[in-house]
Amino acid sequence: LLMSGIRQIQYADLQFHELLGAGSKGSVYRATWKSENRQVAVKKLLELDQTEAALLNQVRHRNIIQLLGASLQRPNQCIVSELAQGGSLYDYLHDSGRDLGPDRLLNWATQIACGVRYLHDEAPQTIVHRDLKSKNVVLTADFSVCKLCDFGAARVVLGSSGVTLAGTPAWMAVEMLRGDRSAGKPCDAWSYGVVLWELLTRQVPFRGLQPLQIVYSVVEEGERLPVPPQCPTGLSLLLEKCWSEDPTKRPTFGSIVSRLEKLADPDTRAALDNFGRQREVWRGWLDAALARMRHTEEALRAQRRLLDGVRRSELAGNLRLLRLND
């Protein structure tokens, strides 16, 4: 039933080329859809994710990757979608030879927010992406359009029912890291804040910290990604709101788009340009802030191990005293 309305594509009609990316649920390849003479992206799956295919088949938006069809033939089950030939946003941001001026930065930030706004407020059913990150944003060949992809973690929101957990720790909202199964739309706002931070800094979020260290820092210590003091005020305030501890205080994507449109003024563009020129100054500050976070977490863990050792020693001593008293 989930697959009704989705075009069936014969596996033999696909000619595979290079690997584009891989995850826990499958691998994505560039391929040629031979009968259509078209370059496509094919996600090969161990088990066909009918939910992902069904969700993609519902959505029609400029900033969301378009599903073209699926192959249901075991063991070659796969999802076929349009190919965004500019690669992932993550790869673009971490290629120092590629320019990212204020205009492009604000334009991409707005496009990504528009894509999520559509999922939350305009799609046939409300969809929470739950794994929004720069690796799940792809670019057209001319880098003019951003598109959200990889809906393997996404779920439809049905009333007040909960959702299963998914995501990547560095981008995950604090309530998801705590295992809150009621996490909904606000968790995408948190993740969007991390993507916006990536656009601004061109750094890997929580670089140098292991997943469990990220969870401990965010959940137990209330840490957030450090925002350089030179960051334009309007954008730093938006990041702060996206990372609110209370999910109800995070902005909706309608308000995020409105904020970004208001920030597309000459003053903000000049501030962003200045921010980029000061990169070497604040990058050192950023490295130091992340190192402090990493060392603080390691020191706290060592302290807890020491305290646990003391408690075990005290317990053993108490047990010896009890035996003597007996």
pLDDT digits (tens, 9 = 90+) for 28-75: 999 999 999 999 999 998 776 677 677 778 889 999 999 899 988 888
pLDDT of residue 293: 85
pLDDT of residue 150: 81
| Residues sharing a CB contact under 8 Å with residue 235, sequence separation 6 or more, in sequence order | 196, 200, 263, 268, 272
- Would you say 253 and 118 are in contact if contact means Cβ atoms under 8 Å apart? no
As a whole number of angstroms, the distance between CA 17 and CA 155 comes to 30
* Cis previous bond, 75, omega within 30: yes
Task: Report the candidate in 74, 76, 72 with the shortest Cα–Cα distance to residue 29.
Answer: 76
Report which residue type is found at 58: Q
CATH topology of domain 89-284: Transferase(Phosphotransferase); domain 1 (1.10.510)
The predicted model scores a pTM of: 0.85
Helix axes 253-263, 233-242, angle to 10 degrees: 170
In three-state secondary structure terms, 88 is strand
As a whole number of angstroms, the distance between CA 150 and CA 325 comes to 65
Domain boundaries, the chain: 11-82, 89-284
Q: Tens digits of per-residue pLDDT, 223-270?
A: 999 999 999 999 999 999 999 999 999 999 999 999 999 998 999 999
pLDDT of residue 159: 40
Helix axes 266-277, 102-117, angle to 10 degrees: 110
pLDDT of residue 205: 96
Give yes or no: 180 in active site: no
Pick the CATH number of 11-82 from 1.10.3720.10, 3.30.1370.100, 3.30.200.20, 3.30.465.10: 3.30.200.20
- How many C-beta neighbours within 10 Å does residue 215 have? 18
Phi then psi dihedrals of residue 62, to 5 deg = -55, -30
pLDDT of residue 13: 96
pLDDT of residue 315: 58
Under DSSP, the state recorded for 172 is -
pLDDT of residue 321: 54
Alpha helices, H only, the chain: 50-58, 89-93, 102-117, 174-177, 185-201, 211-215, 233-242, 253-263, 266-277, 279-325
pLDDT of residue 5: 77
Alpha-carbon distances, residue 242 vs 2, 190, 196, 253 (angstroms):
33, 5, 10, 10
Task: Report the candidate in 201, 223, 188 with the shortest Cα–Cα distance to residue 297.
Answer: 223
As a whole number of angstroms, the distance between CA 20 and CA 16 comes to 11
Catalytic residue, candidates 91, 99, 131, 308:
131
pLDDT of residue 26: 78
Read off the tokens for 295: 């060392």
> What are the residue ranges in the chain where pLDDT is below 70?
1-4, 23-24, 48-49, 52, 152-167, 181, 297-326
Q: In what order do the strands lie in the sheet with 14-22?
A: 14-22, 26-33, 38-45, 78-82, 67-71
